[in-house]
Chains A and B, each alone.
Chain A
Amino acid sequence: MNAHIVKIMVVDDDPFVRELLSTILEGSGYGIVTAEHGLDALEKYRNDPTIDLIVSDVNMPEMDGIQLIKTLREQQQDVPIIMVTSVSSISVAVDALSSGAIDYVLKDEGIQETINITVKRALEKHQLKLQNRQLLADLAAKTSEQEDTLSYLTAIINNMPDGLLATNAQSRITLVNPAIVKMFGLPDTNLVGRDCNELFKDKFQEMQQHFCALDEAPMTTSVELTGGRIGSAVGAVIRKKQTASGKPEERIGNLVIVRDVTSEKEIDRMKDDFISTVSHELRTPLTSVLGFTRVIKKKLEEVIFPLLPIGDPKLERTVSQVLESIRVIVVEGERLTNLINDVLDLSKMEAGKIEWKFEPVSVEELLDRSTDATAALFDQKGVELIKVIAEDLPPVNCDKDRIIQVGINLLSNAVKFTDKGTVIIRAERAAEIREAVRISVLDTGIGISEEDRRQVFEKFKQVGDTLTDRPKGTGLGLPICKQIVEYHGGSIQVDARPGGGSVFSFVLPCAQPDQHVG
C-alpha cells in the first residue's frame, strides 16, 4: 500500500474551502487534484481515472455536486464521492447519499477532523465493496465454468450409446441417462431417488453386494436387456475427493455402465456357425472322395484283379499304376482331412471354444499311448524309438487326449525329420520347477538352425528349404502343441541336440496330492 499514494480530487467553487480541504488532506498524505465545479471535475476525472476519491461541494455553478454524482454513476464510474454540505442543507446530504455518494461531511469548524475520518472510512468501505464485487465476479466465473463443464458432461451422458446409472450408498438412483432407460425399457419419468434394485428388478443386486462388501475392484457382469438383447455391465465405486475440506475420501455411491453387446455375441455365434458350416461343407465331399476310393480299391482287389490273366507284364504294370494312383488319392485326402482338423482345432483353441477335461493322469499312460499311435511310422522308416520314464513320477493334471496329441505331434515330427538313428522320448521331474514333469523328444535327424528354432511354433511355419525338400504337413502341428501346453500352465521349447538332431520338450504341472489318478 505504501507505494501507492491515494489520489483525491477536491471539487469546490470556493477557492478558500478548496484550499482548506486540499491542505488538510495533503497533510494526511493524500495526493490532491482540484476542480472548480462539476463539469470541471468530470473533465478531470475523465483525463485521470486513477483518482481514488472525490470530495465535492454541493452548490456549484455549471454543474452541482448532485449532478456530478448522477453523471458519473450514469457513466458507470463508481469512484467513491464524499459530499461536503453546509449545516443548513442536511436534506441535500440525504439526496446525495441516495444518488450514490458514499458519505458526507458537514462544512463546520470540525471539518478538519471529520474530513480525515470520513475519507479514511470511505476508502475502506469502497475497498470492501470492490473486494466483495471481485468475489462475486470470481464466483460467477467459477459457476459459469462449472455450468460449462456440466453442460459438456450432460451432453456426453445424454448422447453416449452406453447406458449409465449412478446410485448413492443407499442404492437410490442419482443419475440415469436416456440410453439406459431405453436398454431396460424403463418408464419415461424422473427416476432419480428411486430404489435401484426395485427399478432394475435386482439385476444389479449382485454388484451392489459386491461393493457393499467393500471390494472396490471394478466388476463386470452380463445382464439381460429388453427385447432379448444382451448387455455387459461394468460397475465401479464413486469416491469423492474432499480436497476443499481436507476430509478423507468418501465413498458416495456406485456407477454402472452398460454396453449392448448383442451384435458382438451375434458375430461370435456367426463365426462358430461359419466354422462348423465350412467344416461340414468340406468334410462331406471328402467323405465321398476318400470313401469311394477305398471302395474302388477293395472291389478291384477282391473282385476285378483276381479275374485278370497272370503273366502279362503290360497288364501288371497297369494294375500297379492304378493301385499307386489310388494310394495317392487316399494319402492326399487324409492330408486334407488333417488340415481341416488342425485348422478347426487351432481356431477353436484360440477362441477358447475347446472344452478341457482335466484329470490326474499317469505319465506312463501318456507316453504309451503316444508311442503306440506312432509306432507304425517308426517301423516304416526303420528308426528306433526308445522310451525312458524316471521312477516315481507323480501323475500330471491334464487333458489326456490333448497331451497325447502333443506327444504324437512331437514324435511324428521327430520321425519325419530323422532318416537314421534313434528317437528318445523321456519323462522326468522338471529340475527347475518343483511339482512339474518334463517330457522330451530327442531325435538324431536334420536338426533346426538357431534362427529357425524361434519360428517353428508359428502357424504354417515350415523351416529349412521348403522349395527343395518340402516336408509333408502344413506347419500347424507345433502351434497346436504350444496352445495345448500353455493352456495347461506349462511351456514348450526346442533346442539343438548336441551331436545333431533336435530336442523338443515341454513341462506339465503335477496333479495336487489329493487328486487321484482316474
Chain B
Amino acid sequence: MPKVLIVDDEPHIRYLLELTIEELEADGVLLLTADNGETALEIIQAEKPEIVFLDVMMPKMSGFDVCNAVKSSPDLSDTYIVLLTAKGQEFDKQKGQDVGADIYMTKPFNPDDVLNKAREVLGL
C-alpha cells in the first residue's frame, strides 16, 4: 500500500494538505500526518512512505534536519521529499538542495500542484 506523509506544525496547513490529497485514498493510498520533525522521522523510519510533504520551519527539528537525516540514511534515501517553505529566500533553495530535497514548493502552493506531484511520484 503506497503511503504519503504530511508534516507541518500548522494544523490548518496540515488539514489543507490532507484535504488536497485525500482523493488518493480511493486509489488505496494511506495518508499519514505528523506535526513535528521528530515524529515525522519516526514515522518515516517505521512506515517508509514513498513521498513526504515536509514543512521547513518547525520548532525543534526543522524540515532541513529531517530531510538531511532521511537522505543520509541508506535505507530511507529513496523517499521522495517535497520541501514546503514560506520563506522564499534564495539561500533556502540552496539549503534545500544541500540537504538533498527532491523538489521545493513555496507557500502559498497550489493544491493541484501538490496533488499532481503525489500522483506522479506514486505512479497513479
Q: Tell me the A residues contacting B by CB distance below 8 Å.
A: 272, 275-276, 279-280, 283-284, 286-292, 294-295, 333, 337, 341, 344, 348, 353-355
Contacts and interface: CB of A to CB of B under 8 A. Distances in A.
B73 interface: no
A199 B108 CA distance: 55
A287 B88 contact: no
A476 B106 CA distance: 21
B17 to A, nearest CB: 8
Contact of A354 (B10, B86, B90, B94): B90
Contacts of A344: 88
A205 B90 CA distance: 35
Closest 9 CB pairs of A and B: A287-B108, A283-B86, A280-B86, A287-B107, A291-B16, A288-B12, A283-B107, A290-B108, A286-B108
Nearest to B115: A298
A353 B90 contact: yes
Given A279-B87, A284-B86, 8 more contacts: A279-B88, A280-B57, A283-B86, A283-B88, A286-B108, A291-B16, A295-B111, A348-B90
Contacts of A290: 108, 110
B16 A288 contact: yes
B13 A284 contact: yes
A286 B86 CA distance: 10
A280 B87 contact: yes
Contacts of B57: 280
Nearest to B16: A291
A295 B20 CA distance: 7
Interface residues of B, number: 21
Contacts of B19: 292, 295
A289 B111 CA distance: 12
A337 B86 contact: no
Contacts of A280: 57, 86-87
Interface in B2-48: 10, 12-13, 16, 19-20
Contact of A288 (B13, B89, B91, B112): B13
21 contacts: A275-B89, A279-B88, A283-B86, A283-B88, A283-B107, A286-B107, A286-B108, A287-B16, A287-B86, A288-B12, A291-B13, A291-B16, A292-B12, A292-B16, A292-B19, A295-B16, A295-B20, A333-B108, A348-B89, A354-B90, A355-B90
Interface string B86-109: 111111001000000000001111
Contacts of A283: 86, 88, 106-108
A279 B87 CA distance: 6
A287 B87 contact: no
Contact of B111 (A279, A294, A354): A294
Nearest to A286: B108
Interface of B: 10, 12-13, 16, 19-20, 57, 86-91, 94, 106-112
Nearest to A345: B88
Contact of B110 (A276, A286, A294, A353): A294
Nearest to A277: B87
A237 to B, nearest CB: 39
A425 to B, nearest CB: 27
A172 B83 CA distance: 56
Most A CB atoms within 10 A — which of B107, B110, B111? B107
Contacts of A287: 13, 16, 86, 107-109
Contacts of A291: 13, 16, 20, 108-109, 111
B53 to A, nearest CB: 12
A276 B107 contact: no
Given A284-B10, A288-B12, A354-B90, A294 B107 contact: no
A276 B90 CA distance: 11
Nearest to A353: B90
B27 to A, nearest CB: 16
Contacts of A289: 108
Nearest to B90: A355
A367 to B, nearest CB: 25
A337 B108 contact: yes
A284 B87 CA distance: 10
Contacts of B10: 284, 288
Nearest to B56: A280
A201 B2 CA distance: 60
Q: By CB atoms of chain B within 10 A, which of A279, A286, A333, A355 has the most?
A: A279
Contacts of B13: 284, 287-288, 291
Among B19, B57, B108, B111, chain A packs the most CB atoms within 10 A around the CB of B108
A276 B108 contact: no
A294 B113 CA distance: 12
Nearest to A341: B88
Contacts of A355: 90-91, 94
Contact of B107 (A284, A292, A295, A353): A284
Nearest to A296: B19
Among B12, B57, B112: residue with most chain A CB under 10 A: B12
A276 B12 contact: no
A272 B88 CA distance: 12
Nearest to A344: B88
Contacts of B109: 287, 291
A290 B114 CA distance: 14
A276 B89 contact: yes
Contacts of B88: 279, 283, 341, 344
B113 to A, nearest CB: 11
Contacts of A348: 89-90
A284 B16 CA distance: 12
Contacts of A353: 90
Contact of B112 (A294, A333, A341): A294
Nearest to B91: A355
A169 B30 CA distance: 76
Nearest to B19: A295
